Amino acid sequence: MDDAGLNTDALMRTLGRRGREAAATLRLAGPEQRTAAIAGMAAAVREAAADILAGNAEDMARARAAGLGAAMLDRLALTPERVEGVAAGLDTVAAIPDPVGAEMARWTRPNGLDIARVRTPIGVIGVIYESRPNVTADAAALCVRAGNAVILRGGSESLSSSLAIHAALEAGLRSAGLPEAAVQIVPTADRGAVGAMLAGLDGNLDLLIPRGGKSLVARVREEARVAVLGHLEGLCHTYVHAAADPDKARALVLNAKMRRTGVCGATETLLIDATAAPRLLPAIADDLRAAGCALRGDGRARALVPGMAEAGEVDWRTEYLDAVLAVRVVDGLDAAVEHVATYGSGHTDAIVTEDAAAAEAWTARVDSAIVLVNASTQFADGGEFGFGAEIGIATDRLHARGPVGAEQLTTFKYVVRGTGQTRP
């Protein structure tokens, strides 16, 4: 290993140790103190706006020199408005009810033992993310809200922006008397840092959250030696059932696809019953095309919508994240459920129907994190669920599924109160 590697390795071990110590303090701090820290972070970000923009200017200059594309540059760019957005996001998290210590359940056994299941922080959480600098603040605040210490590893292209934001987060922690090590950032672009986090920092990392593209999440899933809460992809469906209300169907499909095409809750495939398609599909297609959406359909869909491109197997499997919709005509609910089970990613899937029995069958049989009836798949969002904020949508099945908010960043312990009971 070269010197840089050695230094990074030693550095990461130190971050792990300091994170573990800070987690112990944070776990025992009161909710008010955590709230004060997050509110202090918001204030410090507003005070440090100039420094943050200066750091971002350095990142942008490097990115332009490196020839990054327009989309990447836009994700990386900060403006005074976006910095205020970061601070406002922190205010939102400061307002989320503190989950630590909440009693999830409590019961008494025949022998008199009083058993309570109580929420506790997870410990030290690692977040590995890509270019958006605002994740530095969002992720840190949500972890602290749930009583966890966090170690942040952002994209190298946003390092200067992230370091400037991180300095403000530390100031917020100081202002509330909490250890700065509650929120640490990896200050180097050395890729060895990621390897050290995947290896678990000598047992000082309890959970890894990758936030970024499929390749990042897949690598973390494949190589991590610690628990991972990851969002792989959102291949979401909207199914227009035979008994769908026409106006609702038109409004829901248009919103589910086109409100924002780049979010994981955007519908990628429209399934529509053969009995409803002749009535509804042409109008739905007109709405979508008027909004700038390209359509790719199977044979029966194309027969109903002139000029629709042909969709193949690959389209059923593609998360476009773009103004493109795959369309398939199906023969009833069984076929729709089968399609979702075969091609979906278990993220978010909606049915449009006025038939209560069909709605119940859909919610019972579709095994996705979020199953909707007569609502847009774009509601797949922690804020829309009332969580206040989210760090992502989990597509795994264990621990947390769907939007990951402060509650999902906790675990629990059992507190058993007795009066001297021994076990027979």
Shortest spacing between CB 54 and a copy of itself, in angstroms: 35
CA distance 173 to 183: 8
414 binds a copy of itself (CB under 8 A): yes
Segment lying near a copy of itself (by CB under 8 A), choices 189-197, 252-260, 282-290, 311-319? 252-260
The nearer residue to a copy of itself, 40 or 265, going by C-beta atoms, is: 265
342 binds a copy of itself (CB under 8 A): no
CA distance 200 to 213: 21
Residue 141 parent element (H or E): helix 134-145
6: helix, strand or coil: helix
Shortest spacing between CB 116 and a copy of itself, in angstroms: 9
218 burial class (0-12, 13-18, 19+ CB within 10 angstroms)?
Answer: middle
CB-based contacts of 312, cutoff 8 Å, min separation 6 = none
Evaluate whether 391 touches 146 at the Cβ level (below 8 Å): no
Within a 10 A sphere around the Cβ of 413, how many other Cβ atoms? Answer: 10
Interface pick for a copy of itself out of 72, 291, 303, 371 (rule CB under 8 A): 371
67 binds a copy of itself (CB under 8 A): no
The nearer residue to a copy of itself, 174 or 259, going by C-beta atoms, is: 259
421 binds a copy of itself (CB under 8 A): yes
HSE at residue 360, side-chain half, CA atoms within 13 A, is 3
The nearer residue to a copy of itself, 317 or 412, going by C-beta atoms, is: 412
41: helix, strand or coil: helix
CA distance 318 to 329: 17
384 binds a copy of itself (CB under 8 A): yes
Shortest spacing between CB 252 and a copy of itself, in angstroms: 6
Q: What tokens does 312 get?
A: 């193949």
CA distance 308 to 323: 14
319 binds a copy of itself (CB under 8 A): no
Evaluate whether 289 touches 295 at the Cβ level (below 8 Å): yes
DSSP state at residue 167: H
115 binds a copy of itself (CB under 8 A): yes
Quickly list H helices, 146-225. 159-175, 192-198, 214-223
Interface pick for a copy of itself out of 1, 3, 215, 423 (rule CB under 8 A): 423
Site for a copy of itself in 5-44 (CB under 8 A): 24, 27-28
CA distance 227 to 221: 9
Segment lying near a copy of itself (by CB under 8 A), choices 31-39, 69-77, 91-99, 245-253? 245-253
255 binds a copy of itself (CB under 8 A): yes
User: Which positions from 133 to 152 touch a copy of itself by CB under 8 A, shown as an x/- string?
Assistant: --------------------
Shortest spacing between CB 22 and a copy of itself, in angstroms: 14
The CA distances from residue 167 to 49, 93, 311, 391, in Å, are 11, 18, 50, 21
245 binds a copy of itself (CB under 8 A): yes
The nearer residue to a copy of itself, 43 or 243, going by C-beta atoms, is: 243
108: helix, strand or coil: strand
Backbone angles phi, psi at 396, to 5 degrees: -80, 175
367 binds a copy of itself (CB under 8 A): yes
CB-based contacts of 29, cutoff 8 Å, min separation 6 = 147, 178
User: Which positions from 90 to 109 touch a copy of itself by CB under 8 A, shown as an x/- string?
Assistant: -----------------x-x
Shortest spacing between CB 122 and a copy of itself, in angstroms: 6
CA distance 219 to 225: 12
What is the amino acid identity at position 19? G
Interface pick for a copy of itself out of 270, 281, 359, 406 (rule CB under 8 A): 359
Segment lying near a copy of itself (by CB under 8 A), choices 55-63, 149-157, 182-190, 407-415? 407-415
418 binds a copy of itself (CB under 8 A): yes
Site for a copy of itself in 181-210 (CB under 8 A): 206-207
The nearer residue to a copy of itself, 8 or 353, going by C-beta atoms, is: 353
252 binds a copy of itself (CB under 8 A): yes
CA distance 196 to 183: 17
Site for a copy of itself in 207-236 (CB under 8 A): 207, 222, 225, 227
Binding residues (CB under 8 A) for a copy of itself: these are 24, 27-28, 107, 109, 113, 115, 120, 122-123, 206-207, 222, 225, 227, 245, 247-248, 251-252, 254-256, 259, 341, 359, 363-365, 367-376, 378-379, 381, 384-386, 396-399, 401-402, 411-423
